Amino acid sequence: MSPTAPTIVTRLADYRVPEFLIEKTQLTFELHEAHTDVSSQLTLVRNPQGSQAAHLELHGEQLELLTLAIDDRVLTSKDYRTTPQNLTIYNVPERFVLHCTTRIYPEKNTALEGLYRSSGMYCTQCEAEGFRKITYYLDRPDVMSEFETVIIADEGAFSTMLSNGNCVSDTVKDGKRIVHWHDPFKKPSYLFALVAGNLACLEDHFTTQSGRQVLLQIYTAAKDQDKCHFAMQSLKKAMRWDEQTYGREYDLDRFMIVAVDDFNMGAMENKGLNVFNTSCVLAHPASTTDAAFRRVEGVIGHEYFHNWSGNRVTCRDWFQLSLKEGLTVFRDSEFSADMNSRAVKRIEDANVIRSVQFVEDAGPMAHPVRPESYMEISNFYTVTIYEKGAEVVRMLANILGPTLYRQATDLYFSRFDGQAVTCDDFVQCMEEVSSKDLSQFRLWYSQAGTPHLQISDSYDAARQQYSLTIRQYTPATPGQTDKKALHIPFKIALYDNQAALPLVINGQNQGTETVLDICQDEQTIVFEQVTEPPIPSLLRGFSAPVKISYDYQLLQLQQLILLDNDGFCRWDAMQNLMRMVLSKTIDGANNHAEQAALIAVIKQLLTNHAMMDAALLACMLSLPNSPYLASLYEKADPVAISQARTQLQDQIAAELQTELLNCYQVLQDQTHGLTAPAMAARSLRNAALAYLLHIDEVRYRELAQQQFAQANNMTDQYAALCALVYAEHAEATAQEALAAFYQQWQHEALVVNMWFQVQATRPWGDVLQTVRKLLSHEAFDARNPNKLRAVIAAFASRNFAQFHDKSGQGYQFLAEQIADIDQRNPQMASRLLTPLTHWHQFTDAHAALMRAALESLTQRELSKDVYEVVSKSLH
Ligand code: B3K
Ligand code: ZN
């Protein structure tokens, strides 16, 4: 490691209450072309619960201190001390007003944290610790203050000047425009926001359940105004949904969303002023795919829901991040399930947990839903905190049932309104209303790693009893070797070859589906009055984020695929069957029986596709993804995995081309508009098209070419482009289509990103060379996170075959790029590094090359963000 390596670790166990509280925060921003001056007036009082320290220590980074005074007394250098991270003021009174002016340089801010500029506009990103790059402050979530913000700029410089809350005044004086905002709700500094720019605005209104009118505004660049209608509709749906589902009403007179081109994440829930990555708010059928429409709806919901789960009730410290993120992801996931296909949403969520979160859990960055330490908090905005955290809330909701869960969340929101609290406070509410003992359940917050359930069964014909034995164990994770048994809600059903059977346990009839509380290392459950050996339908609805293994027979899987009334289980049975075929191919074993079973069942589904949800069938047609397959091996061979997948796709296409083509043609008339059935038809039709392009025939190339040229929506146009680009035999046609696509869409940044992405994810040929070329393309911009994601992250995380090329060049390329990006934007650099941290999953040759790439980074001067990930990965 470089000698200057930063190693300061923050620990949950060291949490102390703040020494001071900030009753009022008054900020004035003077925006100048080359710099911004920030004057703050903080009303500070000593926290009676603190340890009565004599000094005040504030956070502050990269600030030029211009003036400092306490009440009317100007401070001299003897009164305080600054370090790169802090300002310490000696011997402060019990209660005082601190006046401070700092100068900052938003124009030079390439980390996109704090106040920065994006396409000329000013915007902020303060979570988690960006506010300290704006002014000296107690930049921690348990310090909640009432904010007033004044923004001053040259008259005419910006049409839009926004901050949190309500606009108090907007005046002009001496050639300056002065806009004054006030947010009546106390909030931590991470929820502060400021925007100034020349923006167009789409306006609408929402009447809350108690009859208050709320002004809704979405601000974007003028050229994007026609792409905000869907986001506006989604916002109104989300507001209504939260009233109906959680009884949560919006609290300010105004709700604003601003779209920004350069943004490290998807969006940010600042109070009353959400800031969004353009990719999560702009949508238009001509230029946006159905998947992206659904993402816009989900993210709009997510950020809106934070108004209660995050803003009104916030986190005591960053170890509690999942308190707001896990809960809010669960809320947005249910919102999306209610607005679209519930089964498909559940499958998508389960797939992310399985192929991304389980991989994180098995690697060097594994951490509990409530971590115990970090070097850089930005590295902990992870699938574990977000998605596993959401699964933990979902399990609680299922354990309590809908009525008690709602009572518990009502209690949580009313008891802790205006406070900064912990995950334990949340669980306590669940426990209080239900009188259930959740002490074992709490381990889900503190214990890292994925529990494995090994399931075996036996049937006793004489007694008509069916027994299931479930053994659970959780493998060790870094720093946690000793794992305890968890409380796992395990939903199951039993099928005969026609339908779900009535379940009788201990003489009690449970209906046809039941939740078993698995709490011990090993448990056996006996089902009575079972007249023949049944087929178990396990972990229904993905009722817990666990791995299961059960030795299914081929026929059993086929029956679940056709019969099961749980969408997740149907899909999972298909994934299982596909996995059996693929594993045998990878191991070089004979898999004729598995292949025949798979082809037969897909044939049956395709032939009768009109009988089922087309969107679900489309999900069921996709093979288990490569990262998931890799996670099933001790040491995975990425090349063999990719080849096996391609081979199986080729084979399905070859054997089922009649059915696939028929499905494609029959659905043609059902794909108009943005309705759920039309979207479902498009997804199935495009899944069929992707398979057909595995066949090297001119008629299929023409089919894709025709769809590409004639599509009146982006879903179909892009699906055809992908099908062409991914088929090696279609290279010439694909090149023409790529050129036409760029020609058509070069002025739409988000579509150009898709154009980058399809090229970076092509599974054949010398993609690394293509990727290097794209980096110097006129439309590429290394400072824009969306472009980095479209080229570099797409190649490293979504092009398994190419990234893992045995030469190791993909790994070296990623390391070089990270070293470069880290100079400008540490958060992005650190996120892009993730694929290299999985080296332990792969065969020795690959693992060595991946480690070498990580080691090459240790020769550089690294940010805290990248240092933490590299050092933990090599440990
Ligand atoms: N809360 C923000 C995340 C900000 C992360 C900054 N490093 C987005 C969200 O989860 O809603
Ligand atoms: Zn969030």
Residue-wise pLDDT for 381-424, tens only, equals 999 999 999 999 999 999 999 999 999 999 999 999 999 999 99
Name the amino acid, one letter, at 636: A
Query: Given this model, what pLDDT does residue 671 score?
Result: 87
What counts of helices (H) and strands (E) characterise the chain?
Answer: 30, 33
For range 2-23, the mean pLDDT: 85
For range 11-27, the mean pLDDT: 98
> For residue 378, what are its two tokens?
């930005």
Paired sense of beta strands 145-154 and 114-118, if any: unpaired
Helix (H) or strand (E) holding 413: helix 402-415
* Ligand 1: residue whose CA is nearest its atom 10: 325
* Ligand 1: residue whose CA is nearest its atom 5: 127
For the Cβ of 329 lying below 6 angstroms from any atom of ligand 1, the answer is no
Q: Give the C-alpha separation, 677 to 683, whole Å.
A: 10
Ligand 1 atom at minimal distance to the Cα of residue 377: 7
For range 144-161, the mean pLDDT: 98
Å from CA of 130 to ligand 1 middle: 12
- Say whether 513 is catalytic: no
Q: Give the C-alpha separation, 366 to 360, whole Å.
A: 6
Q: Give the C-alpha separation, 94 to 100, whole Å.
A: 18
* Res. 728: pLDDT tops 50: yes
For the Cβ of 270 lying below 6 angstroms from any atom of ligand 1, the answer is no
Q: Which ligand is nearest to the CA of 333?
A: 2
The answer to whether the beta carbons of residues 103 and 32 sit under 8 Å apart is: no
* Res. 859: pLDDT tops 90: yes
Q: For ligand 1, pick from 125, 265, 309 the residue to mutate: most ligand atoms within 8 Å of CB.
A: 265
For range 133-146, the mean pLDDT: 98
* Res. 9: pLDDT tops 60: yes
Q: Give the C-alpha separation, 714 to 343, whole Å.
A: 24
Query: Given this model, what pLDDT does residue 4 score?
Result: 47
* Res. 3: pLDDT tops 90: no
The CATH number, out of the four listed (1.25.50.10, 2.60.40.420, 3.40.50.300, 3.40.50.11780), of the domain defined by the range 746-875: 1.25.50.10
Q: Give the C-alpha separation, 38 to 139, whole Å.
A: 16
* Ligand 1: residue whose CA is nearest its atom 6: 127
Q: Give the C-alpha separation, 231 to 819, whole Å.
A: 36
> 670 — phi, psi (to 5°)?
-105, 15
Q: Give the C-alpha separation, 389 to 394, whole Å.
A: 9
Q: Give the C-alpha separation, 96 to 88, whole Å.
A: 15
| Vertex 722 angle, CA 719 and 727, to 5° | 130
Query: Given this model, what pLDDT does residue 77 score?
Result: 96
Q: CATH number of the domain at 19-305, please?
A: 2.60.40.1730
Å from CA of 52 to ligand 2 middle: 35
Query: Given this model, what pLDDT does residue 409 score?
Result: 99
Task: Tell me the β-bridge partners of 219.
Answer: 201, 258
Where exactly are the structural domains of the chain? 19-305, 550-655, 746-875
Name the amino acid, one letter, at 644: A
What does the DSSP assignment read for 460-508? Answer: ETTTTEEEEEEEEE---BTTB--PPPP-EEEEEEEE-SSSBPP-EETTE
Only one residue has tokens 């959740």, namely 438
| Vertex 600 angle, CA 598 and 601, to 5° | 70
Ligand 1 atom at minimal distance to the Cα of residue 127: 6
The answer to whether the beta carbons of residues 398 and 363 sit under 8 Å apart is: no
* Res. 592: pLDDT tops 50: yes
Output the CA–CA distances (angstroms, integers) from residue 750 to 545, 711, 754, 831, in the order listed.
Answer: 33, 18, 7, 20
Q: Which ligand is nearest to the CA of 382?
A: 1
For range 453-475, the mean pLDDT: 98
Helix, strand, coil share (%) of the chain residues, nearest 5: 45, 20, 30
Å from CA of 273 to ligand 1 middle: 14
* Res. 176: pLDDT tops 50: yes
Q: Give the C-alpha separation, 459 to 526, whole Å.
A: 10
Ligand 2 ion: residues within 5 Å (CB): 325, 328
Å from CA of 331 to ligand 2 middle: 10
Dihedral angle over CA of 269, 274, 275, 278, nearest 10? 110
Whole-angstrom Cα Rg for the chain? 28
pLDDT interval class at 132 (50, 70, 90)? very high
* Ligand 1: residue whose CA is nearest its atom 9: 268
Q: For ligand 1, pick from 262, 381, 825, 868 the residue to mutate: most ligand atoms within 8 Å of CB.
A: 381
* pLDDT tens-digit map of 607-666: 999 999 999 999 999 999 999 999 999 999 999 999 999 999 999 999 999 999 999 999
Å from CA of 303 to ligand 1 middle: 9
Helix (H) or strand (E) holding 21: strand 20-31
Query: Given this model, what pLDDT does residue 6 score?
Result: 57
Query: Given this model, what pLDDT does residue 5 score?
Result: 54
CA proximity to 622, closest of 698, 696, 687, 704? 687
For range 852-875, the mean pLDDT: 97
For range 711-740, the mean pLDDT: 98
Å from CA of 546 to ligand 1 middle: 26
In the chain, the percentage of residues whose pLDDT exceeds 70 is 99
Q: For ligand 1, pick from 124, 304, 325 the residue to mutate: most ligand atoms within 8 Å of CB.
A: 325
For range 572-595, the mean pLDDT: 98
* pLDDT tens-digit map of 669-693: 998 999 999 999 999 999 999 999 9
* pLDDT tens-digit map of 499-545: 999 999 999 999 999 999 999 999 999 999 999 999 999 999 999 99
The answer to whether the beta carbons of residues 422 and 316 sit under 8 Å apart is: yes
For the Cβ of 358 lying below 6 angstroms from any atom of ligand 1, the answer is no
Cis amide linkage into residue 128, ω under 30° from 0: yes
> For residue 21, what are its two tokens?
């509280």
Q: Give the C-alpha separation, 109 to 122, whole Å.
A: 11
pTM > 0.95: yes
* Res. 2: pLDDT tops 50: no
Output the CA–CA distances (angstroms, integers) from residue 424 to 199, 319, 384, 412, 511, in the order listed.
Answer: 43, 12, 17, 11, 34
> For residue 498, what are its two tokens?
């026609």
* pLDDT tens-digit map of 762-787: 999 999 999 999 999 999 999 999 99
CA proximity to 695, closest of 654, 643, 647, 724? 654
The single residue of 129, 269, 303, 376 carrying the catalytic annotation is 303
